[in-house]
Structure 1
């Protein structure tokens, strides 16, 4: 077993050894134990399920809410020659059908699936035919109502136990308080879980809070003192542009990033930063998830986040290479009041939820009683503009509706255009003979891409239009006409978030809204906000200690490198320094000792004491007479 997993690690990832706890977690899975693994950001969580899956027979089902991350991991596995597929929001029924067939008959090792897909009849019917090695649940904290990112669709995961009664489950997350850890094990029906938890301590990462009203100037000071790659986190999209412009004016290479940019633009900016073509990325919290850049030297927050889980993850993107790095929060007193104000404004009430649901149904032109199982592209900005709604309240309202299984909301990710021929070879040939204007474009399509009869294939409309000697808009119209004629299935590119209706559209005015849950959720978020304020405003508690205790660690030592620890040490050193000067002065007055005798007389090592004596001579406090004895100057 040990040799096999080490060989797999070396073959596919090129590593000679596992990181801390990875091997223990992998062996726990191979031994058939339900396992909870808590590894900090950058701790190598994916290795913990990818390595054992390659050693074991069958397919590993990976459940994750992060569509972009799923796509990245599937693409990375495929580049290594490992068969992997993902089933995510935005895929057509036929695409999902084909992908699931491949999982049964095609030798697939990894099936990545978003949690809202688990309860569908199609998925469950195919699941019973799969040979499943084990189930891995990424971002497992999403299953807990005590967590900061509760996703109701995660509660469906335990239902897989009925179909996979003897299958091992692995839950992985980077952040979980004691209550969340307990909740994960309970909700996933772990009977005797093995829990592996790496310390939340990051010894190479110094946590720093700077109290400053002029935040931009303090940010400049930090970036000028700390060389190397950096991330600056801000709250709004507009701020990303403003701060990046400020840095450029001050001769610091920077760019901005937020979720409102198109996927190609985000990819270009991200790639430039990873390759150090730009030094600083100014971003909202949409930036960083899944990015493998180990040499980030400093992460700066210009405003505190809403909870310490987010801060720990975002700050933890610094120093993944193990070298000295800094996490800096620039804080002022008004931040506290702004955080509380935004919490009150952003939390929806019963009327907000009803209004958001009603507006969504109207926006999608969905009749009451319709929509079950259908996924729609969802432009939040267009919806809010049309119905004069506040975007953050709409998002939070939809998350509430997820809890009661009305719908599922997924993050936006680029889904390129795909095509599949839905007629056989003979019928296609007859169609080309009967419809001459489609003949050449179809021939070019067949020459450009293979497997079009078997599965959906990603296409480039611009390339096909050029080869067909047609304008792009005319070519896209031609593809839509082929779809209307029943020749192809054509799925147009989109990078919008998606809404999947898990229940038929209800009458908004008669929906049951759980006001008690809303109250409890508000209290939980207020507690998390208070923890952030304590972290930012405490002048005498080690920052690392506060974070570790928040996540349930019993902490004895302090880090010694945060701003609190450094200030305390400076004070102690300053007090000790003053006391030694006083002692030397006293000896000089009373004994007029020889310079070399002083250390022995006061029980200090010479190398500690001589610099202070020289300092006192240099500043004129002491003088040396002709006999090389110390004297107080002026006596």
Structure 2
């Protein structure tokens, strides 16, 4: 079977050998074992389920919350000649029905589905008729309430397992603390622990924190010192544009990327950046998932992420080719207040959350007891204008209502236009009397898109217009005409979030936000923010070791390339001197606990040299301090 896996890898991806840990994970799930794979960003997670699924008979269900990534992977699989499709929020009932029917009768190998669609009646009905080979749970940390991105819909996966007895589960994540690793396996009903861990250590990646009150000038300085492709992450859409404009004026080729751009613009900018047409992409965290560019030399954060998990994923997009790369955070004193404000924005007061719920019901004129299963387009901007709310806390309140199970609030989705032929290929000749323009468009669609008689295809009116040398508006008019003639089913491009009522409207005094949804999640959110602040403000612990320790990976050596390690070298303490001093400190503390001043007097050495070593040993937990006295933690 191992040889068969390598044959599949060679046939579809052109590689002769698997990367670290991929083959072990593939063998485990291939043998029918529930498996959890911990692989950092760029570790090649998709291969671990795509290869064994192709070796098995039947279809692999891939559960993922990332709709943009879902679409990219489906497109990539189709380009390799592998049949795949996706089901997610925003699709019409007819689209979903056709997709699920294709899973039963169409010899498809992969169904990508968002977790919110798992407990719909139509999915569960069709699931019973599918031959499912395996279930893949991507971003599996989302199933854990201890995780940084918990999504209640993930809890439905265990129910799906009961409908598919004997079907193994492969859970994958790039970021999980030890408690999350345990929780994932319990919530997915693993019969026994089965974890494959790739080390999170990135030996080629130097982690740097630069403290500065002038981030633009510092960014310019860093880009002048580190050649090669770069990503600059910022929190707001406006800041991405402003920063890209600043860099261009300074002579550095750059562009910006965020979720507010239309699909065609995002695709174009991503392709231009990957092709090296400009050097720096300034982006929100909407950019990066599934980006296959190995030679990124630099990732800079001009704003602090709100968790080490998010930072580790984004920083990890540098140096995937194994060559030296840098992950830099620009930190100013005001960042601490900015980060702490996110707590009140993400977790507004419960009374405010109830008010948002009430206003949402007014917005849709929802009657008491009505609403279950209803889906609506949603404009946060218009909603806030109507009811005089600020967008950021309103967004936080809607997300908590989602966590509490009252609604499903999707992020903004940019759904490209799509269509399917509703008549057979042989019937098309009947419609030649509709004129040369219509005939030319039909032929262009048939030449450009495959499988369009059995499944909806994403189309670009822009590219069809260029090909036929007519306006985009005329393409739209013809497609609407063909749709009215019932030759095609055409769903024009729409960019919007959605609100779906997951239960009927309730009286406000019956609206309950559980402790685990609000108080416990808020407490963990604060802990992650504090961990992020500790990371950027600590000046005496190896940054790589700090990140590894956060993810439960013990490591006894310093990276020797982060700003802290480099500064330690500049302090005049060589590694051998450092280790000798540490040994002498441990020796004097065997007698009794001492204050730092007493240790200095006892050893009769320069205070600065000893204080560096003492502080480092305290940070590493090898020494303890209580009431001003230091003792050996081993005692």
Is residue 440–residue 468 contact of structure 1 (8 Å, CA) maintained in 2? no
Pairs aligned (count): 573
Equivalent-residue separation in structure 2 for 1:159 and 1:110 (angstroms): 20
Equivalent-residue separation in structure 2 for 1:230 and 1:532 (angstroms): 22
Mark the CA change 1:278 to 1:422 in structure 2 (over 3 Å): closer, same or farther.
closer
Equivalent-residue separation in structure 2 for 1:360 and 1:186 (angstroms): 36
Query: Could you say what secondary structure the match of 2:571 adopts?
Result: helix
User: Is residue 167 from structure 1 mapped to residue 140 from structure 2 by the alignment?
Assistant: no
Equivalent-residue separation in structure 1 for 2:201 and 2:455 (angstroms): 47
Structure 1 residue aligned with 2:76: 76
Structure 1 residue aligned with 2:120: 120
Structure 1 residue ranges without an equivalent (≥5): 578-635
Is residue 444–residue 467 contact of structure 1 (8 Å, CA) maintained in 2? no
Equivalent-residue separation in structure 2 for 1:13 and 1:462 (angstroms): 31
Which string of whole-angstrom CA distances, capped at 9 and with x for unpartnered residues, describes residues 54-113 of structure 1? 111111110000000011011101100111111112211111111111111111111111
Is residue 255–residue 281 contact of structure 2 (8 Å, CA) maintained in 1? yes
Equivalent-residue separation in structure 1 for 2:366 and 2:506 (angstroms): 10
Offset of residue 352 of structure 1:
2.6
Equivalent-residue separation in structure 2 for 1:301 and 1:425 (angstroms): 52
Offset of residue 465 of structure 1:
8.1
Equivalent-residue separation in structure 2 for 1:545 and 1:5 (angstroms): 35
Structure 2 residue aligned with 1:108: 108
CA RMSD of aligned residues (A): 2.9
User: Is residue 26 from structure 1 mapped to residue 17 from structure 2 by the alignment?
Assistant: no
Is residue 89–residue 375 contact of structure 1 (8 Å, CA) maintained in 2? no
User: Is residue 391 from structure 1 mapped to residue 394 from structure 2 by the alignment?
Assistant: no
Structure 2 residue aligned with 1:277: 277
Structure 2 residue aligned with 1:353: 353
Mark the CA change 1:175 to 1:242 in structure 2 (over 3 Å): closer, same or farther.
same
Offset of residue 460 of structure 1:
4.9
Equivalent-residue separation in structure 1 for 2:71 and 2:530 (angstroms): 36
TM-score under structure 1 length normalisation: 0.83
Equivalent-residue separation in structure 2 for 1:238 and 1:417 (angstroms): 27
Equivalent-residue separation in structure 1 for 2:297 and 2:65 (angstroms): 29
Offset of residue 140 of structure 1:
0.2
TM-score under structure 2 length normalisation: 0.83
Is residue 403–residue 517 contact of structure 2 (8 Å, CA) maintained in 1? no
Residue pairs, 1:502-541, within 5 angstroms: 502-508=502-508, 510-514=510-514, 517-541=517-541
Offset of residue 500 of structure 1:
2.9
Equivalent-residue separation in structure 1 for 2:397 and 2:418 (angstroms): 32
Mark the CA change 1:464 to 1:544 in structure 2 (over 3 Å): closer, same or farther.
closer
Equivalent-residue separation in structure 2 for 1:169 and 1:498 (angstroms): 29
Offset of residue 160 of structure 1:
1.1
Is residue 348–residue 396 contact of structure 2 (8 Å, CA) maintained in 1? yes
Structure 2 residue aligned with 1:543: 543
Equivalent-residue separation in structure 2 for 1:144 and 1:183 (angstroms): 6
Residue pairs, 1:228-243, within 5 angstroms: 228-243=228-243
Structure 2 residue aligned with 1:214: 214
Query: Could you say what secondary structure the match of 1:339 adopts?
Result: helix
Equivalent-residue separation in structure 2 for 1:38 and 1:575 (angstroms): 32
Structure 2 residue aligned with 1:141: 141
Mark the CA change 1:236 to 1:177 in structure 2 (over 3 Å): closer, same or farther.
same
Offset of residue 410 of structure 1:
3.0
Structure 1 residue aligned with 2:379: 379
Offset of residue 516 of structure 1:
6.2
Which string of whole-angstrom CA distances, capped at 9 and with x for unpartnered residues, describes residues 161-219 of structure 1? 21111110010000000111111011111111310111111000000111111222211
Structure 2 residue aligned with 1:333: 333
User: Is residue 255 from structure 1 mapped to residue 247 from structure 2 by the alignment?
Assistant: no
Equivalent-residue separation in structure 1 for 2:568 and 2:409 (angstroms): 47
Is residue 65–residue 410 contact of structure 1 (8 Å, CA) maintained in 2? no
Query: Could you say what secondary structure the match of 1:282 adopts?
Result: strand
User: Is residue 493 from structure 1 mapped to residue 493 from structure 2 by the alignment?
Assistant: yes
Radius of gyration: which is bigger?
Answer: 1
Structure 2 residue aligned with 1:8: 8
Is residue 296–residue 325 contact of structure 1 (8 Å, CA) maintained in 2? yes
Structure 2 residue aligned with 1:563: 563
Offset of residue 413 of structure 1:
3.9
Mean Cα deviation higher: 238-247 or 388-397:
388-397
Mark the CA change 1:571 to 1:52 in structure 2 (over 3 Å): closer, same or farther.
same
Equivalent-residue separation in structure 2 for 1:28 and 1:223 (angstroms): 44
Residue pairs, 1:290-305, within 5 angstroms: 290-305=290-305
Query: Could you say what secondary structure the match of 1:414 adopts?
Result: strand
Query: Could you say what secondary structure the match of 1:167 adopts?
Result: coil
Equivalent-residue separation in structure 1 for 2:330 and 2:162 (angstroms): 50
Offset of residue 350 of structure 1:
1.7
Equivalent-residue separation in structure 1 for 2:562 and 2:276 (angstroms): 27
Structure 1 residue aligned with 2:192: 192
Mark the CA change 1:421 to 1:250 in structure 2 (over 3 Å): closer, same or farther.
closer
